[in-house]
Amino acid sequence: MVVKKYKFIFLSALFLIGLQYFTGLIKINFVNSMKPNLIIYSYSSFTAKWGPGPIIKKKFEEQCHCKVEMREADDSRLLIQRLVMEGDRSDADVIIGINQWDLSQSLEKLNFKREFWPLEMNLEDENFKATLGEPGELVPFDWGIFAFNTKGDSKISKAKNLNEFLSLLPKNGLVLQDPRTSAPGLSLLNWLVQVLGEDKAFQYLDLLSEKIFTITSGWSSSYGLFQKGQAQSVFSYVTSPLYHLIEENDKNYKALSFQEGLPMHVEFAGVMKTCKNCLMAKEFIQFLLTPNIQSILMKKNYMFPIDKNVLAKTPWDIESKYKVLPFRKISKEDQDRILERWTMWSRKR
């Protein structure tokens, strides 16, 4: 009887412990299900496990006591196309990664929650003040500089301008991105138009054509081909060699500095009109501008921070090594015309 009594007590205790454990799980799941859900759209290198997205997601969840869901597209242009297709059915709260070449298109085709602006911003650089425009436009959170990248032991590394680059580039030596689907590709096209003029830009592309190995839809695929040795050069960021140096201890990458100057690439974020948690979305964009997150963006996104104080005395403080062209917007009409010319050019090449 004593044994049966203690056996009953033991089993009862075990049952109560199990019941308490599963009740706790149910409670945790219930509490988690009650947390607001912030949905962010961004490009793939931002949301990738090696990018800044996962770290920023975790830190913001700790601050807001919410759940953050990040959805990706390969490139910011594809991201815009996806949101246009979704329309009012979209459940996006925030979009991250629109660049200046897509400002006019974004403001025309997408609906943003404009009444939140202006945010509190510390923009000392006049270039960035110029990006804000009228209240309601998107907010810059980081920026970069584009250039042709190559290996330091390549003959191409000696090029000091566009003409020298063309003459030193071997056949099938270059990988580019399509400007209709890629932000870097669009930056390249607009850069050539900016420094050469529209007609001469397409004449330059005609000369460049036989030296292009392929044109990809986005940056990730083009840079991957370059790394695999499929081509000797790729259009990328001036911080790409810095990535290889810091992450891989590889000094054999170089971004070419040209006498014509290099294009600036500013990335923007905004709150969508379809937002369900709109105030939290605004809080997230303000969060992107804090020094700690600006530092994470710099170190994980390999971009320059908007807050120059974050940049000082770091390996990323290399802007002065390059001649950077002023920030430039382009109208939708001009952009559509240039892209139509690109489409015609790509069909005949």
Backbone angles phi, psi at 183, to 5 degrees: -65, -45
pLDDT for residue 14: 52
Q: Which positions ≥6 away from 13 have C-beta within 8 Å?
A: none
Mark whether 235 and 311 lie in a shared domain. Answer: no
289-328 as b/e: b if 16+ CB within 10 A: beeebbbbbbbbbbbbbbbbebbeeeebebbeebebeebe
Q: State the 10-residue block means of pLDDT for the chain, 349 residues long.
A: 48 53 45 70 89 95 93 79 89 90 82 65 50 61 95 94 97 95 92 96 97 93 95 97 96 96 91 91 92 95 90 91 87 91 94
Mark whether 288 and 197 lie in a shared domain. Answer: no
Confirm if 61 and 67 have CB atoms less than 8 A apart: yes
Residue 317: inside a domain, yes or no? yes
Mark whether 204 and 312 lie in a shared domain. Answer: no
Mark whether 137 and 271 lie in a shared domain. Answer: yes
DSSP assignments along 64-81, one per residue: HTSEEEEEEESSHHHHHH
Mark whether 204 and 58 lie in a shared domain. Answer: no
pLDDT for residue 92: 92
Q: Which residues, listed in sequence order, are joined to residue 212 by a DSSP beta bridge? A: 174
Q: Which of 207, 150, 218 lies closest to 184 in space, CA to CA?
A: 218
Percentages (nearest 5) of helix, strand, coil residues in the chain: 55, 20, 30
pLDDT for residue 12: 55
Residue 4: inside a domain, yes or no? no
Mark whether 337 and 220 lie in a shared domain. Answer: yes
Mark whether 163 and 278 lie in a shared domain. Answer: no
pLDDT for residue 10: 47
Distance CA 115, CA 174 (A): 45
Residue 2: inside a domain, yes or no? no
Residue 68: inside a domain, yes or no? yes
Residue 201: inside a domain, yes or no? yes
Helices (H) and strands (E) in the chain, counts: 15, 10
CATH of the domain at 276: 3.40.190.10
Residue 22: inside a domain, yes or no? no
Q: Which of 94, 143, 145 lies closest to 119 in space, CA to CA?
A: 94
Q: Which residues, listed in sequence order, are joined to residue 145 by a DSSP beta bridge? A: 264
Identity at 79, one-letter amino acid code: L
Identity at 194, one-letter amino acid code: Q
Give the N- to C-terminal CA distance of the chain in Å, as an integer.
93
Residue 209: inside a domain, yes or no? yes
* This model's pTM is above 0.85: no
How many domains does the structure of the chain reveal?
2
Distance CA 139, CA 118 (A): 9
Mark whether 206 and 292 lie in a shared domain. Answer: no
Mark whether 179 and 301 lie in a shared domain. Answer: no
pLDDT for residue 109: 86
Residue 129: inside a domain, yes or no? yes
Q: Range of 270's domain?
A: 35-143+265-321
Identity at 82, one-letter amino acid code: R
1-34 as b/e: b if 16+ CB within 10 A: eeeeeeeeeeeeeeeeeeeeeeeeeeeeeeeeee
pLDDT for residue 28: 39
Distances (CA, A) of 323 to 29, 193, 334, 342: 54, 17, 25, 26
Pairing, β 304-305 against β 139-151:
antiparallel
Distance CA 146, CA 298 (A): 15
Mark whether 96 and 120 lie in a shared domain. Answer: yes
Q: Which two tokens stand for residue 133?
A: 């425009």
Mark whether 102 and 189 lie in a shared domain. Answer: no
Mark whether 138 and 41 lie in a shared domain. Answer: yes
